[in-house]
Amino acid sequence: MARIIGDNSDGFANETEIINYINSKQYFENLNDNMQEFISFLFECDDLYGCKMYASKPTGMVKPDIAIRIDNVTKYISVKKGAGNSAHQEKLPVFENYLRNSGIESRIIAYLKEFHYGDGSTDGNGGNRISASEWISSNYSKVASINHAFDNTDFLVSFFDRVLFVGNVSPAPTVDAIFHGNINNALWANRDEIIDYLLEQNNTSTTIHFSNLNYQVWNRNLNYNPNTADRRHVMQIKWASLGDDLSRIRRYGRYGR
């Protein structure tokens, strides 16, 4: 499940607008300054005048939102817009298998599941349910252990690919760059820039996090609503600081210093 489930109509409309804009302009020189700068960055070329472009929507539950082709070269982008950006979601047992296969200890996985359900269990069949903040305030040592286990370069590179660039389906195209904004105003960075930047960050917050990306439950269902019960078993990854982080990468380079 690589895509976020929910109301993302504004995001889908933005993707459609970008695709239609590129296809209507056809040639690089017909684009506005914002899109010329981005396409030059994406294809790593400053001389694209006379080049014809074609944009399309990749099929399947994949991370790229748009494919852009010039001649025989295709680049893939993930498009984000606004604040509080969701990066990924999947069922907890699937994510648990990924963590286990990545070498995360069973003890850490159990702690994460305790946080996820917030009812004293690791399977959602416990007692009184509490909020994420309540659980964290009573389990600082477990949160610290989880974050320490996740703060590993090899694991984080794999994790960033899973939640940002590749997804959890195979085979799938890889995102070359993340584009945050619209055809007139946007920020962007490529995969290498983003991974290097995120690896350099020192997030000391008490949330469960992977660098600047935060873990949450899709819906903790504290009111026992049967209509959202299934969402309680789904994890999400949020990148709330995406706009600020891309701005730092563009201003200071990939490390954002």
pLDDT > 80? residue 99 = yes
In a domain, 205, yes or no: yes
DSSP bridge pairs for 52: 27
Section 116-122 average pLDDT: 97
pLDDT in tens, 167-226: 998 889 999 999 999 999 999 999 999 999 999 999 999 999 999 999 999 999 999 999
**Distance from the first to the final alpha carbon of the chain:** 34
Q: Which two tokens stand for residue 158?
A: 């794999």
Higher pLDDT, 138 or 2: 138
How many structural domains are present in the chain?
1
Is the residue at 150 inside a domain? Answer: yes
Residue 107 has pLDDT above 90, yes or no: yes
How far apart are alpha carbons 129 and 124 in whole angstroms? 9
Give me the mean pLDDT over the 63-84 stretch: 95
The span from the CA of 249 to the CA of 252, in Å, is: 5
For residue 235, what pLDDT is reported?
98
* Confidence check: pLDDT of 6 > 70: no
Per-residue confidence (pLDDT) for residue 116, from 0 to 100: 98
The per-residue pLDDT for 255 is 57
Res. 245: pLDDT tops 90: yes
Q: Is the pLDDT of residue 87 over 50?
A: yes
Q: What is the pLDDT of residues 40-60, one digit of tens each?
A: 999 999 999 999 999 999 998
Distance between CA atoms of 188 and 184, rounded to whole angstroms?
A: 13
Segment 95-99 mean pLDDT: 98
Instruction: Say yes or no to pLDDT of 25 above 50.
Output: yes
- Measure the CA–CA gap between 257 and 249, rounded to whole angstroms: 8
Domain assignment of residue 137, yes or no: yes
Distance between CA atoms of 83 and 243, rounded to whole angstroms? 7
- CA proximity to 88, closest of 215, 248, 256, 223: 215
The answer to whether position 189 is within a domain reads: no
pLDDT at 3: 45
Task: Tell me: pLDDT of 117 over 60.
Answer: yes
Return the SS3 of 219: coil
The residue segments making up the domain with residue 146 are 85-169+201-243
Q: Is residue 193 part of a domain?
A: no
Identify whether 20 is part of a domain. no
Residue 162 in domain: yes
- The pLDDT-based confidence of 2 (bands split at 50, 70, 90) is very low
User: Is 208 inside any structural domain?
Assistant: yes
